[in-house]
């Protein structure tokens, strides 16, 4: 399956129908949840979604069958919607079950987190009970470095160490808050509370002009999603806290949003056509 998809994706680079093997597609980076390959056109990358799940800085890990397929579809869905309302993202198009074509960008080495309700590390660090609504969305930055455990940083660190300019930070906050409004509304419409999420932001160049876009992924791996009625967790905390089947939780999110086609249970017995 993978071989077929990879061949099809790569054949765009070689329009004369040469046989292209998987080995000829250049792997750029393999991370915890995704693999980046060189894309078919300059300035593009193919983002492959793996089934690997990690938590607590990869201390806990497992392979969750189907997670990559769900995240590929969900990230496509969210980013298409964001592109549609004028929030720029790296997403170009989905290629197959596990891969999407994205714009290559220079990733700013920060995770930008927006919180609407206290949970996770904020609850622990500040002693705020999980589930407490925050008076306003709070934006936080974490330095993307697995060896250091992605430490929280302030704008002072970011400016002093040159990870981003003050203008970049203002743009990142504006992007993150627009993503928050869009995602909160979308989720509210299907009975889910957007508790918090993280995005990664990348820089792209159009000639002399540069701008920031939402990159990486937006999926239940990078959001906290709670059912409004029951409080049930429908995100990666299901894996972090051993609360049940992660694929079932992500499938529920996709089902509510109408993203995944329903299981083909309606097929039944073949019928004679007169």
Ligand X SMILES: Nc1ncnc2c1ncn2[C@@H]1O[C@H](COP(=O)(O)OP(=O)(O)O)[C@@H](O)[C@H]1O
75 or 251: CB nearest ligand X? 75
Q: List residues binding ligand X (CB under 6 A).
A: 29, 31-34, 36, 45, 90, 102-105, 107, 200, 202, 215-216
Q: CA 214 to CA 118: how far, in whole Å?
A: 24
Nearest-approach distance from CB 98 to ligand X, in angstroms: 13
215 or 234: CB nearest ligand X? 215
Nearest-approach distance from CB 93 to ligand X, in angstroms: 13
Task: Give residue number: closest CB to ligand X.
Answer: 31
Nearest-approach distance from CB 243 to ligand X, in angstroms: 22
Q: Pairing relation of β-strands 110-117 and 106-107?
A: unpaired
CA 54 vs. chain centroid, Å, equals 14
Q: CA 164 to CA 89: how far, in whole Å?
A: 18
Q: Would you state the structure tokens that stand for residue 124, as one six-digit string? A: 């622990």
27 or 124: CB nearest ligand X? 27
Measured at the CA of 31, the angle between CA 12 and CA 217, to 5 degrees, comes to 70
Q: What are the backbone dihedrals phi and psi of residue 98, each rounded to the nearest 5 degrees, phi first?
A: -120, 0
32 or 240: CB nearest ligand X? 32
Nearest-approach distance from CB 269 to ligand X, in angstroms: 44
DSSP-derived secondary structure letter, 140: E
Q: CA 114 to CA 138: how far, in whole Å?
A: 6
10 or 215: CB nearest ligand X? 215
Nearest-approach distance from CB 120 to ligand X, in angstroms: 17
Query: Which strands form 91-94's sheet, in the order they lie side by side?
Result: 27-30, 34-38, 44-49, 99-103, 91-94
The answer to whether 248 and 235 have CB atoms below 8 angstroms apart is: no
40 or 202: CB nearest ligand X? 202
Nearest-approach distance from CB 170 to ligand X, in angstroms: 21
């Amino acid at each position: 399956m993978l071989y077929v998809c990879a061949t099809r994706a790569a054949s765009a680079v070689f329009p004369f129908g040469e046989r292209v093997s998987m080995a000829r597609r250049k792997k750029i980076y393999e991370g915890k949840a995704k693999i980046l390959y060189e894309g078919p056109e300059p300035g593009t990358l193919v983002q492959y979604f793996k089934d690997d799940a990690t938590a607590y800085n990869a201390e806990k890990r497992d392979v969750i069958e189907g997670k990559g397929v769900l995240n590929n579809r969900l990230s496509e869905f969210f980013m298409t919607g964001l592109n549609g309302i004028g929030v720029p993202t790296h997403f170009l198009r989905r290629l197959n079950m596990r891969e999407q074509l994205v714009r290559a960008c220079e990733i700013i080495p920060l995770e930008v987190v927006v919180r609407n309700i206290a949970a996770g590390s904020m609850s622990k660090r500040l002693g705020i009970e999980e589930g407490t609504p925050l008076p306003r969305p709070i934006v936080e930055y974490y330095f993307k470095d697995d060896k250091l455990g992605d430490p929280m940083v302030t704008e002072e660190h970011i400016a002093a160490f040159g990870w981003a300019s003050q203008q970049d930070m203002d743009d990142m906050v504006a992007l993150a808050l627009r993503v928050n409004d869009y995602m909160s509304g979308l989720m509210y419409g299907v009975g889910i509370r957007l508790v918090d999420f993280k995005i990664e932001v990348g820089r792209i160049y159009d000639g002399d002009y540069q701008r920031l876009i939402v990159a990486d992924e937006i999926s239940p791996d990078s959001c906290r999603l709670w059912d409004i009625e029951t409080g049930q967790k429908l995100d990666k905390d299901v894996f972090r806290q051993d609360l049940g089947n992660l694929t079932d939780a992500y499938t529920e999110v996709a089902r509510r949003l109408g993203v995944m086609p329903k299981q083909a249970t309606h097929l039944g017995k073949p019928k004679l056509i007169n």
